[in-house]
Structure 1
Amino acid sequence: MAHTDRGHYANKHREEMIDEAISKKIHSLAKNGSVPCATAHRIAKDFGVLPLEIGVQIDLLEYRISQCQNGLFGYTPKTKKINPDIEVSKELKDALDEANTDNRISCAGCWKIAATLKIKKVAVASACEKMDIKIKPCQLGAF
């Protein structure tokens, strides 16, 4: 959701209910109205649920998700942490070409490529940006 939707994140989940145990954990780890992506993934692992479920709970509690592990949003003073001038190796280009569908690749797909090539997630996202490949969907449901 865009910054103009701030404070109205719950509106995209009209049928969902707040999970009290998860919400308690989110409240305890949130800082300055936001929950970092890595923290949300750790909560998902701790509760044995998909990251998307944690993303929904974060929305229902009207927190923002920050510090995207792909570097796409939630950083200050700039919003992104990606490197638009990255040199894309042939190995990374080939992996992205194989994984992308209609100029899109999922967040999870980026993570898989990063793990396989033993490179940082932000390097994969930077290459996607340079190659005009959109990363969607986000594992937490941010986009």
Structure 2
Amino acid sequence: MATPANSKDAGRAMAKEITASLVEGRLPCPIAFRTAKKLDVIPMAVGNKADDMGIKISNCQLGCFGKEKATHEELADMQVSPAIAEAVHGSLVSSKIPCKTAWGVAQELKVSRRKVGDTASKLDIRVSDCQLGCF
């Protein structure tokens, strides 16, 4: 589906797509990204529209929030991959790792985004600059 040229129509189309994609009243992060791709817009546009609609984003793919967030106990028992730790440390901006950069680390190392996010958490490194605008 192509985004309508008229911005008002584009906003309506995005709102319709978001509403149709809700899970338990929230928009899961992976679905927000699929919606952005489908509508050929940046993820931040979907996040902003969801926010304007009073809809919360759920299930961050990096594990920063949502049902799949690692508990302190799980992180305490987690073994840190030296390769992921090195990549995370090498990607810091003001002592944090930007969301988009964390995704890149996951892709480069062929590991899950969640693994990168959990590694950052275990190393007491925060993820910043959410691509959907959540933080």
Unaligned runs of 5+ in 2: 1-7
2:108 corresponds, among 108, 116, 122, to: 116
Q: Distance in 1 between matches of 2:109 and 2:78?
A: 16
1:96 corresponds, among 88, 91, 106, to: 88
Unaligned runs of 5+ in 1: 1-16
8 Å Cα contact 1:105/1:133 also seen in 2: yes
Structure 1 segments, 4+ long, off by >4 Å, are none
2:69 corresponds, among 80, 101, 124, to: 80
Q: Distance in 2 between matches of 1:81 and 1:140?
A: 20
8 Å Cα contact 1:81/1:122 also seen in 2: no
The 3-state SS of whatever aligns with 1:72 is coil
The 3-state SS of whatever aligns with 1:95 is helix
Partner of 1:41: 33
* Alpha-carbon distance, 1:121 to partner: 0.8
8 Å Cα contact 1:71/1:80 also seen in 2: yes
* Alpha-carbon distance, 1:102 to partner: 2.2
Partner of 1:7: none
The 3-state SS of whatever aligns with 2:57 is strand
* Percent identical: 33
2:64 is the alignment partner of 1:64: no
Partner of 1:137: 129
Query: What one-letter code is carried by the residue in structure 1 that aligns with 2:70?
Result: K
TM-score, normalised via structure 2 length: 0.85
- Deviation string 1:33-59 (CA, Å, 9 cap, x unpaired) is 201000000000011111000000000
